[in-house]
Structure 1
Amino acid sequence: MNVITIPVKQGGILAATLWERSDAKGTVILHPATAVVQAFYKSFADYLYEAGFNVVTYDYRGTGRSRTGMLRGCNVSMSDWIEQDVSCVTDWAKSRFPALRIMAVGHSVGGHAILLSSATRSLHAAVIVASHAGVTRTIKQTVEKIRVWSLLRLLAPVLCRIFGYMPARRLGLGEDLPAPVMQQWGRWSAMPDYFYSDPQWDARRRAGEVTLPLLVLGFDDDPWANPDAITRLMGPVKNAKIERREIRHADFGIPSVGHMGFFRSRCAETLWPEVGSWLARECLR
């Protein structure tokens, strides 16, 4: 396991970690969720490495080890993560391992990146975990819907104006975020079809151009990435070969999965092989 630095063409760096093996069957890039640092995915990366893959994890600019200096004034947006950061780490992996197939696993906004980034054309296959169209009306539980709506529409805009960034840590919501990330996320959540409705972000066309095999995972106790929200996200993805699995956590003897739990060690023996075996099969096709 080696710590590496990948420069971003538009400015800044991506702090990344590489698991490299001489007999790798392919290379897997892990695209993280919003406000989640790469260390969260270490155990899953270890699993993929032991399963025969090179693995790359990283932090988006403005988060984790990719954060340089103060967040106030950082002008990186969520669409910059999706297009610029993802493209740079994908190009780096292609250059480092030109003879191997490049695949990706995207968690939440990392799954959005697989659908929308121009770098996706370089992938051989990808797995999308707990990703959804983040419009608040798809949340079924009333209390959770009010909580998320209040955070994205009321609290976050005020806090970003006061602090110049989103102080998520103080609220127990993960990593602090650049203000443009939080503001763009809030705007998308207010649109009828999330980022597909954004006139400045040609998301519907981008998603329609994806043609690679996709494994899409949802979990029955995830309040955000529920079946309706996943369907809204995947609707414009008309040309990909999609295998969608709605996983009932009780069927696997797991107490909970939710939005974050797939990457925790309690899922190692039951759910991780679902992804590892799928990636291994696609690597051979």
Structure 2
Amino acid sequence: MVDVVRRREVVPVEDGTRLELEVFEQVEGREAPVLLCLPAMGVPARYYEPFALELHRRGFHVVTSDLRGHGASSVRVGRGTDFGYYEMVARDLGAVVRAVRAAFQDSPLFLVGHSLGGQLGSLYLGLEGEGVRGLVLVAASSVYYRNYGALGGVKVLLGTQLAAVIATVWGYFPGRRLRFADNESARVIQDWARQARTGRYVLSGAAQDFEALLARVERPVLAISVDGDSLAPPAAVDHLYGKMPRARVVRWHFTQSDAGGAHLDHFRWVRHGAPVAARIAGWVGEVLAGEAGAGQDPRTEGRP
């Protein structure tokens, strides 16, 4: 068992929002890589504790952070709450990354994003990404409806657009009442629905062309899809990293067999995440050794 030092750190954001980080720190190995884990929509950071401990056992410092409006964030979603993807990318992630870099000045930093967290991590690399060595996408995908097949695409399109209408009329998205995700800011749902409809990241309140910014990303990316994941099927995962054609992408599919026969889906993989943690550890080692993608086409490795 690797010793772990756990602590919490409050990160102030420029608009007065406060975010809380949970840090799983190595007792030895101060220069070990640090992984910053970003959650899915409506999921509190504490859900990822088992996965964070798996990563820590493999020699990493690990930091988990709630998204704005969830968990230990100072923001509580309701009528009058006004934020979207842009605020989470430009303000929140910027502040969190700076805090993590300050705490681990000698450690290479990687982002690990699940679902929406992976989308936000990708957008952050396009916008800024200073000091971030690479990105891991776990069950993180573009939600463009054409990635889900004929029937699935219709369901995604209708569901996301209906959610946007509800959020606009209600003043926020009442996810707890509807038993989908959690309560969300209307603009988050509108950004989500727009991307589902158009396939493009056009962020409300942003002047930047995020599609053009994504196309300039050159950092290493590990893109992981998961067996049984209807919310982020392989084609949708491919569409997200495909927006970063200059990135050095390694592709891997996490199968039920990899998990020892355990049932997997968009969320259950976290409870069976040891093979994912091992794959991430191997990939980080390759990146740091300058060997990522050597001698092969990185976009085809492990393709399902």
Q: 1:165, 1:281 → 2: CA distance?
A: 43
**Cα offset, 1:89, TM superposition:** 0.7
Residue 120 of structure 1 is matched in structure 2 by 129
Mark the CA change 1:277 to 1:64 in structure 2 (over 3 Å): closer, same or farther.
Answer: same
Segments of structure 2 that go 5 or more residues without pairing to the other structure are 1-5, 291-304
Mark the CA change 1:275 to 1:151 in structure 2 (over 3 Å): closer, same or farther.
Answer: same
Kept in 2: contact 1:83–1:116 (CA 8 A): no
Match of 1:267 among 252, 273, 295: 273
Equivalent residue runs for 1:1-285 within 5 Å? 1-22=6-27, 23-24=29-30, 25-69=32-76, 71-117=78-124, 118-140=127-149, 142=151, 144-162=152-170, 164-191=171-198, 193-195=199-201, 201-250=208-257, 252-264=259-271, 266-268=272-274, 270-285=275-290
Kept in 1: contact 2:115–2:141 (CA 8 A): yes
**Cα offset, 1:247, TM superposition:** 3.2
2:67 alignment partner, SS class: coil
Partner amino acid, structure 1, of 2:265: G
**Cα offset, 1:8, TM superposition:** 0.9
**Cα offset, 1:56, TM superposition:** 1.0
1:133 alignment partner, SS class: coil
Q: 1:148, 1:260 → 2: CA distance?
A: 18
Kept in 2: contact 1:121–1:210 (CA 8 A): no
Higher relative contact order (CA 8 A, sep 6+): 1
Mark the CA change 1:159 to 1:114 in structure 2 (over 3 Å): closer, same or farther.
Answer: closer
TM-score (norm 1): 0.88
Q: 1:169, 1:79 → 2: CA distance?
A: 24
Mark the CA change 1:221 to 1:50 in structure 2 (over 3 Å): closer, same or farther.
Answer: same
TM-score (norm 2): 0.83
Kept in 2: contact 1:254–1:267 (CA 8 A): no
Give the fraction of aligned pairs with identical amino acids, expressed as a percent: 25
Partner amino acid, structure 1, of 2:95: C
Mark the CA change 1:159 to 1:215 in structure 2 (over 3 Å): closer, same or farther.
Answer: closer
Kept in 2: contact 1:195–1:201 (CA 8 A): no
**Cα offset, 1:197, TM superposition:** 9.7
Spell out, residue by residue over 1:215-272, the C-alpha distance to the aligned partner (whole angstroms, 9 max, x if none): 11012422232232222222231221110113332454333322223212x232x333
Q: 1:12, 1:77 → 2: CA distance?
A: 14
Q: 1:69, 1:38 → 2: CA distance?
A: 15
**Cα offset, 1:85, TM superposition:** 1.3
Kept in 1: contact 2:77–2:183 (CA 8 A): no
**Cα offset, 1:83, TM superposition:** 2.5
Kept in 2: contact 1:130–1:219 (CA 8 A): yes
Q: 1:70, 1:29 → 2: CA distance?
A: 24
**Cα offset, 1:156, TM superposition:** 4.1
Kept in 2: contact 1:136–1:145 (CA 8 A): yes
Segments of structure 1 that go 5 or more residues without pairing to the other structure are none
Mark the CA change 1:146 to 1:111 in structure 2 (over 3 Å): closer, same or farther.
Answer: same
Mark the CA change 1:70 to 1:272 in structure 2 (over 3 Å): closer, same or farther.
Answer: closer
Mark the CA change 1:97 to 1:271 in structure 2 (over 3 Å): closer, same or farther.
Answer: closer
Q: 1:267, 1:203 → 2: CA distance?
A: 31
Partner amino acid, structure 1, of 2:131: S
Partner amino acid, structure 2, of 1:212: R
More helix by share: 1
